[in-house]
Amino acid sequence: MDYNEAIMAFNFNIMNRTKRIEDCLHQHLSVHYLDVQDESGQHHVPQGAETHIKLILVSDAFKNQSRISRHRLINNLLADEFSRGLHALSMHLFTEEEWRARQGETQGSPPCRGGFNQG
């Protein structure tokens, strides 16, 4: 393992998932607004699991991009997080113009339906 890999591994272990997501998106995209919310507490997972994340992101990177292209971009950027336990990512991705038209509003997240606890 070289020095950069060691630093990345160290940072992965000491930083929480929401912080890593924020850092990754700021590093790779021109971010105008970013809100990363840990919604794991609304699901049947251990406290602090950071497995269910809601992402609200406004970026120029989404101009002339379809909804699916935007989602693919974010999924690719966060592939390491998915491989390390991120289970669900709710994405609300907008251009600045779209965000202004929505007046900064997004839909709330639905309540947990029980997942594995459903009988």
Tally of domains in the chain = 1
Give the per-residue pLDDT at 26: 98
CA angle 111/114/118 to nearest 5° reads 150
Domain of 23? 17-103
Q: Is the pLDDT score of 93 beyond 70? A: yes
Does residue 10 belong to any structural domain of this protein?
A: no
In a domain, 94, yes or no: yes
The more confident residue out of 49 and 89 is 89
Residue 27 belongs to a domain? yes
d(CA 63, CA 48) in angstroms, rounded, equals: 35
What CATH number does residue 77 fall under? 3.30.300.90
Would residue 58 count as lying in a domain? yes
Average pLDDT over residues 86-92: 90
Q: Does residue 97 sit within a domain?
A: yes
Element containing residue 83 per DSSP (H, E): helix 79-83
27-83, pLDDT tens digit by residue? Answer: 999 999 999 998 776 655 556 667 778 999 999 999 999 999 999 999 999 999 999
Q: What is the pTM of this model?
A: 0.75
- Chain-centre distance for alpha carbon 11: 18
Residue 91 included in any domain:
yes
Residue 24 forms part of a structural domain: yes
53, 17 contact by CB (below 8 A): yes
